[in-house]
Amino acid sequence: MTNTEKNIPKEDGPAKKKVAPSLALTLKEFKDCADLIYRSLPDLALEMVFFDHLTGSEEFTREIAIPFGSAEEQDVPQLLERSQFTEITDSDALIKKILNGSVALFFHEKCYAIHVYKPESRTIQESESEVVITGPHDSFVETATLNLSLIRRRVKSSRLKVIKCEVGEITKTDVYILYIDGLANMEYVQEFIKRVELIELDAIHDANMLVQCIDDDPNSIFPQFPTTERTDAAVSKLVAGRIVAIVDGSPSVISAPASFFEFFSSPDDYYQRWALGTATRLLRFAAFIVTITFTALYVSVTTFHYEMVPEDLLLTLTESRSRVPFPPIYEALLLEVTIELLREAGARLPTKIGQTIGIVGGIVIGQAAVQAGLTSNILIIAVASSAIASFVIPSYMMSASIRLARFGLIILAGLLGNFGLMLGLALMVIHLSGLTSLKSSYLTPIAPIHLKDWRDTFIRAPFWMLKERPSQSKTSNKVKNKMRQ
Amino acid sequence: MNEKLHPFHIMILIYMNQTGVVIMSLPHLLAENFGYNGWLGVILISLVVNLNIFIISIVYRLGKGKSIFQIMESSLPRVITFPIYMILIGVWSMTGCMVIKNYVYIYQIMSYNTTHAMLLKLLIDIIAYLLIIKGIYTISKAATSFFWITSWMLLLQLFFIKDFEWARLTPFLFKGDTHFLTGGFIVFTAFLGYELCFMLFPYADNPKKFIKSVYKGNLITTLTYLIFCLICFGFYSFEQIRNMMYPLLDLLSYIRLPFIERIENLLFGFFLFTTIVSVVLYSWSAQETFARIVPKANKKVLAFIILTFGYIVAWFPDTLSEVGQWLQYLGYAELGVAFGLPLLLILILVIHKGAKPS
Amino acid sequence: MRTMPKAAALLLVIVIIAGCGDQRILEKQGFIQSTGYDLNGTKNDEKDNRLMITVDIPKSDPEQRMQRETLTAIAHSSKEAKILFAGQTELSLVSGQLRSTLFGVSLAKTGIWKHIDTLVRDPSISQRVKIVVVNGRAHDLLVRDYPQHPRAGQYIDRMLEKESALMSFPLVTIYDFSRDYFDDGIEPIAPIIRENKKNISFDGIALFKKDRYITKIESKQSLIFSMMKQNFKKGEISMKLGDGSKKQEYLLFSSVISNRNVKVKRSTKGNFNIQINIVVKGSVLEYSGSHELSKDYDRKKIEKRMAEYIENEAAALMATMQKHNVDSLGIGRNVRNSLSYEEWNKLDWNKEYPDADIRISARIVIKDFGKFK
């Protein structure tokens, strides 16, 4: 919301005077760029400037080396007439072209550019952060064009539209905004483009960074747009009438608008039998409740509400607590922080060392902490199960946010018991109700209510029941299997 | 505020605004005032509420969906509207704050006995403030979320089937030591909250379904009350209910699950959600009225003033029974508003032959 | 939107100020699990109206060897005793985990509502606290150790829960007791236990008139009592069937499903004719008699004799109850529900009850008789 008011687009100033491109000017501009290649073909009176790491050698050979290699000087103008060569009359434009992987050709006084961009790219691999068991295993890579091709291959429709924007004052990162014409609501598309264009940052390194610049509420701890590395997930969002944005240099793509509950669904849900998919989804919501309340409830019960413990548990609980010298809230926070440390350490370290961390951490937490009387073993169960539960949530961003919110609830529960817990939950619900994603309610389909959407939110109903696209995308083609002509 | 309220959300708003901690003592009130099988009294009162909603619906129809302020200001001089607004602000803001205080005091019977009640109240006030300033659309969204979070509690009734006995209900209807009139008023206050629907006139998405959803909201409240009270009357003996201050609280404490028991503490915590909605709606209405008096003021500031005023007033009553008294009197005042204001509006509209095109 | 973080910070500050006040950290509490009430003086000493109050507190401190602590005080009320106890233990005593209260029979005879009232009033006390009458002194029973069993409080608690599931004891909680205490058509009951040399055993059902203990029903009759009082679905009854001349036959009737209904008729004179019908279904797994269970004719005969047995036992029970004028079955409720409010108000059920004509008829259905002919 604030972005729109805060960021007034910077004008390019009074239109710059166009300067005719010349070799000398170009070389001057790229002074001290050791990676710039300059080739001269004196027999053809042709000179070339390019970055060989941006251009594909195959393309270079095909488009330049072969035709010009066998040509005479008088053939050159004819060759340059070919459509792939464009004549450039502006020096700035030429520099931009070169930076984008074109080869600049200087022939007499004229200047041409040919696009032979083929950057080195990581091969398409399986996503490490979003693993699925069944379903497509390819995931996006850092090259936007490759990502585009991955999507195009899955959506063979001329209605898949791509809009290109540029973000980052220095980096000039390409952002491609994708939508399916006739399915996506154009208001969302306009709004999205507007927000992307209004970003005023010198560099955007990743889609997850871009997301924070276009959030409705940047102060919220909850992500308002999901990002995914999975191609099938991105395509399913497109088909649902949402917008997808690809950021060059990032293997994640953004989808918008989104609701809170969307973060709990994973593409696998659709590849399993519907009963299984439903069970998994319900499990995730149960995991959500466990994550945010379990430890807090332990703290609240042991600090304030001893009467809630059933008789059979009472003695074991008291026994394990009686060795611990601090109040339950310190105990719980200590253990929670330790688990977070372990998680963070595991994420930073290479896989081989990461395993060691797991083992050391497991022993330290599982055994030594209890024996040393630092924590009670029932708390370990509570903390561990809520930590595990938090990892069940498919979106890493959401699971991290929920874990953070949990700390607040633990503190509230430790200070005010169940009342504090409820206060915290109320605060969370109020905050979530106020959130919007591209100005659409974050809590759809609960508020505003759309009972039909529940079939694909809380459960995963069989496909014959999922006849309509989600209401949040406000699509003009509600019914699936149909495209209005 | 261009977003409109869907009829479903109006229904939920009305329901969430009506229910509150009053339900804890409702069976007791019914037994004391309506005698044997007093739970059926809920239906009687609900019928009166429906009558009142009908009156309000006439205003809505005659006024063609114009807000009550527009109707009043179109024909009454400022000298008359000003005191009316002041009364409304006073009643609504105080009702809101007393509801919180009542909630806190009942909670303090169970836990946090020595913590300062006003500190706990302040916490709820802050939460309420955060919601009020977001406007009615977000309030309705939050109310719907709260509704889903609390609705499962109706399933708890299943725990009592085993100990429920129809024989305890007795065949006597409204017999025993009864006080229909005073009792009726007291029980009626448990239903209050529906009258704020006249604040929602301009926000209704679907004019045809608007009044229907208010009726529906009241119906849900009635059913909830009816089920809870029926369970209480069949679970406890009649004399026992007459002697219990908060039968429902005791009822909840009877629940025992294998891994947790005595969850009345936690369940009462869930009533915080319905309480917050009541408070927020009352304070929001007060704020909207206040905005009519000072149209240029920032609404956040107005909400702050209203809550602060309520907070100061809430210092006065010091015991649970005093809070109950205050709520009772405020309830009577609110009753006057619920019936009086629509009648006044109808009068205005009839004299002016319907709403003038604005 | 920027109000949110500020408000959240303010919230936290207030929570910190408000919090920490009413903490009851689990391991620092001494959970009273059972309380025993006895009259302090002997029967002859009428002046001493003080009580002897005993509490049983389980302990779980791994460094201490004792599994429990028992405290006794002589005081006027349980709350006074709690203050006295506080000076004797390192834990702060709380009653939120109270599971059972034991009343000595001599105290029960003088009325126990006063004590139950404090239990009902205290919000920390569960409504599921069990009420038990001790034939003897509750104190003696509570402080003793039973080497073959868990600590006394838990021992009683678990025994009650297990047995009540089989319907051989009634399980009476504060909720049940106060509900029946207030109901005008039924009188409360409670189980009675007795201390033996090595263990604790069930001694019957205590019948109360309002809150005063009047008489008891022997433990072997308790299932018959349950059949007369309510419907139930579990339980086992052993019957001694004899028709005078022949030798006695023993029969074990198990997996009992018992249904009863009560019919109230009022004669023109105003006397009540009350009919209690009991239908019991179950399987016979042990039978020592001469009839053959597999033969329909014989089985019908056995069923009839079983019904007679139940009718006789029930009639005897009914007579005792009427003699002592305790309506523990809640027949008054059935009478009340058959009358109009005015009639019921005019009627003094207390006076009518001993003379009411209450008849019991039973019907037995042997569903099966095991897997052997």
The full 3-state SS of chain B, as one line of letters, equals: CCCCECHHHHHHHHHHHHCCCHHHHHHHHHHHHHCCCHHHHHHHHHHHHHHHHHHHHHHHHHHCCCCHHHHHHHHCCHHHHHHHHHHHHHHHHHHHHHHHHHHHHHHHHHCCCCCCHHHHHHHHHHHHHHHHCCHHHHHHHHHHHHHHHHHHHHHHHHHHCCCCCHHHHCCCCCCCCCCHHHHHHHHHHHHCCHHHHHHCHHHECCHHHHHHHHHHHHHHHHHHHHHHHHHHHHHCCHHHHHHCCCHHHHHHHCCECCCCECCHHHHHHHHHHHHHHHHHHHHHHHHHHHHHHCCCCCHHHHHHHHHHHHHHHCCCCCCHHHHHHHHHHHHHHHHHHHHHHHHHHHHHHHHCCCCCCC
| Chain-chain contact of B111 with A449 (C-beta, under 8 angstroms) | no
Alpha-carbon distance of C364 to C300, in angstroms, equals 9
Chain A residues with CB-CB distance to C under 8 A? 1-2, 217, 219, 301-307, 309, 311, 314-319, 321-324, 327-328, 411-412, 414-416, 420, 423, 427, 431, 434
Subunit contact A308:B127, Cβ cutoff 8 A: no
In a domain, B233, yes or no: yes
pLDDT computed for residue B112 by the predictor: 83
CATH entry 1.10.3720.10 includes domain C220-373: no
B114 touches chain C (CB under 8 A): yes
Q: Do A101 and A204 share a domain, yes or no? A: no
Does C4 lie at the interface with B, CB-CB under 8 angstroms?
yes
CA distance B145 to chain A (A): 7
Please say if the pLDDT value at position C42 is more than 70. no
Domain presence at residue A476: no
What CATH code is carried by the domain that includes residue B59? 1.20.1740.10
pLDDT value at position C243? 61
> To which H or E segment does residue C58 belong?
strand C51-58
Verify that A254 and A330 share a domain, yes or no: no
- Within a domain: A461: no
Q: In angstroms, what separates the C-alpha of A435 from chain B's closest C-alpha? A: 9
Residue C233 contacts B, CB cutoff 8 Å: no
C62 in contact with A at a CB cutoff of 8 Å? yes
| B36 contacts C14? CB cut-off 8 A | no
User: Based on the domain organization, do A277 and A249 belong to the same domain?
Assistant: no
Measured between CA atoms, the residue of chain C closest to residue A434 is: C1
Check residue C45 and give its pLDDT. Answer: 56
- Contact between residue B99 and residue B166 where contact means Cβ atoms under 8 Å apart: no
Per-residue pLDDT band for C100 (boundaries 50, 70, 90) equals very high
As a whole number, mean pLDDT of residues C349-369 equals: 89
> Distance between CA A145 and CA A164 in Å, rounded?
11
With a pLDDT cut of 70, the percent of chain A lying above it is 95
| Minimal CA separation from B113 to chain C, in Å | 7
Domain assignment present for residue A475? The answer is no
Task: Please tell me whether the peptide bond between B27 and the residue prior to it is cis, using omega within 30 degrees of 0.
Answer: no
* A414 neighbourhood in chain C, CB within 8 Å: 19
Q: Is residue C337 within 8 angstroms of chain B, CB to CB?
A: yes
For residues A361 and A417, membership in a common domain is answered with: yes
| Domain presence at residue B336 | yes
User: Is A156 within a domain?
Assistant: yes
Distance between CA atoms of A468 and B96, rounded to whole angstroms? 42
pLDDT for res C19 = 65
B358 belongs to a structural domain: no
Spell out which residues of chain C touch residue B176, defining contact as CB-CB under 8 Å.
341
Q: Are residues A305 and A393 in the same domain?
A: yes
pLDDT tens-digit series, residues B280-308: 999 999 999 999 999 898 999 999 999 99
Across C292-317, b (16+ Cβ under 10 Å) vs e yields ebeeeeebeebbebbbebbbebbeeb
Ranges A184-198, C121-135, C255-269: which has the least confidence: C255-269
Nearest CA in chain C to B172: C341
Q: What is the mean pLDDT of chain B?
A: 90
Structural domain includes residue A412: yes
What is the span of the domain harbouring residue A294? 271-440
Count Cα neighbours of A289 within 13 Å in the Cβ-side half-sphere. 6
Return phi, psi of residue C236, to 5°. -145, 135
Is the pLDDT at C50 greater than 60, yes or no?
yes
Evaluate if residue A11 carries a pLDDT over 80.
no
Q: Verify whether the Cβ–Cβ distance A434 to B138 is below 8 Å.
A: yes
Cβ distance C5 to A412 less than 8 Å, yes or no, reads no
Residue A282 belongs to some domain of the structure: yes
Domain ranges of chain C: 26-217, 220-373
Subunits with 3+ Cβ pairs within 8 Å of B are A, C
The rounded mean pLDDT for chain C is 86
Are A278 and A222 found together in one domain? no
Q: Both A76 and A153 in a single domain?
A: no
- Which residues have CB under 8 Å from C6's CB, separation 6+? none
CB contact under 8 A, A430 and B127: yes
Task: Determine, yes or no, domain membership for B65.
Answer: yes
Q: Is residue A86 over pLDDT 90?
A: no
DSSP letter for each residue of C221-249? GHHHHHHHH--BS--EEEEEE--SSSPPE
For residue A132, tell me if it sits in a domain: no
Q: Does B355 touch chain C (CB under 8 A)?
A: no
B133 touches chain C (CB under 8 A): yes
List pLDDT tens digits, range A279-338.
999 999 999 999 999 999 999 999 999 889 988 888 888 888 888 888 899 999 999 998
Contacts of B261 in chain A (CB under 8 A): 307-310
| pLDDT of amino acid A13 | 46
Chain A environment of B8 (Cβ under 8 Å):
448-449
Q: Pick the closest to residue C205 from C241, C160, C239 (CA basis).
A: C160
Residue C11 with chain B: CB contacts under 8 Å: 123, 126-127
Asked if C341's CB is within 8 angstroms of B36's CB, the reply is: yes
Q: What is the mean pLDDT of residues C168-193?
A: 90
Q: How many domains does chain B have?
A: 1
pLDDT value of residue C215:
92
User: Do A253 and A276 fall into the same domain?
Assistant: no
What Cα–Cα distance (Å) separates residue A21 from each residue in A109, A111, A112, B51, C55?
9, 7, 10, 84, 99
The Cα diameter of chain C in Å comes to 96
pLDDT per position as a tens digit, A380-423: 888 889 989 998 999 989 999 999 999 999 999 998 899 999 99
- Chain B residues within 8 A of A426 when measuring between CB atoms: 127, 146, 272-273, 276
The whole-angstrom separation of Cα C63 and Cα A373 is 13
B172–C344 CB contact, under 8 Å? yes
Q: What is the pLDDT of residue A12?
A: 47
| Separation CA A87–CA A93 (nearest Å) | 11
- Among A310, A422, A447, the residue with its CB nearest the CB of B144 is A447
Residue of chain B whose alpha carbon sits nearest to that of C21? B115
**pLDDT higher than threshold 70 for residue B358:** no
Specify the number of domains making up chain A: 3
Domain-located, residue A128: no
- Tell which residue, A293, A305, A403, A296, has the closest CA to residue A347: A403
Mean pLDDT for the stretch of residues A251-280: 92
Whether residue C20 and residue A321 make contact (CB cut-off 8 A), yes or no, is: no
| Pairwise CA distance, residues A422 & B104, whole Å | 13
When pLDDT is cut at 50, 70 and 90, the band that residue A485 belongs to is very low
Given a cut of 90, whether residue A351 has pLDDT beyond it is no
Chain C residues within 8 A of A412 when measuring between CB atoms: 15
Interface test with A, best of C1, C122, C154 (most A CBs within 10 A): C1
In a domain, B43, yes or no: yes
Q: What is the pLDDT of residues C208-230, one digit of tens each?
A: 998 999 999 988 888 889 889 88
Looking at CA atoms only, how far is residue C126 from chain A in angstroms?
8
Compute, in degrees rounded to 10, the torsion defined by CA atoms C38, C42, C43, C49. Answer: -60
pLDDT in tens, B49-85: 999 999 999 999 888 888 889 888 888 888 989 999 9
Contact A291, C11 (CB under 8 A): no
Higher pLDDT, C46 or B200: B200
* Partner residues linked to A41 by β-bridges: A46
Checking if the pLDDT of A3 tops 50, the result is no
Residues within 8 A of A (CB atoms), C 78-117 only = 94, 96-97, 99
| Contacting residues of A for B148, CB less than 8 Å apart | 446
Chain A contact for C8 (CB, 8 A cutoff) = yes
The answer to whether residue B218 sits within a structural domain is yes
Q: Is the Cβ of C126 closer than 8 Å to some Cβ of chain A?
A: yes
> In terms of domains, do A352 and A223 share one?
no
Q: DSSP for C258-271?
A: EEEEEEEEE-TTS-
Per-residue confidence band for B98, with pLDDT thresholds at 50, 70 and 90: very high
Phi first, then psi: what are they for C51, rounded to 5°? -115, 155
Residues of chain B neighbouring A260 (CB-CB closer than 8 A): none
Is C123 at the interface with chain A, CB within 8 A?
A: no
- Tell me, yes or no, whether A331 and A246 share the same domain: no
Q: Which residues of A133-146 are buried (b: 16+ CB within 10 A; e: fewer)?
A: eeebebbbbbbbbb
Q: Choose the mutation target among B241, B250, B276 for the interface with C, i.e. most C CBs under 10 Å.
A: B250
Residue B14 included in any domain: yes
CA distance B117 to chain C (A): 9
**Dihedrals phi, psi of C251, to nearest 5 degrees:** -145, 135
- Residue B104 belongs to domain spanning: 7-351
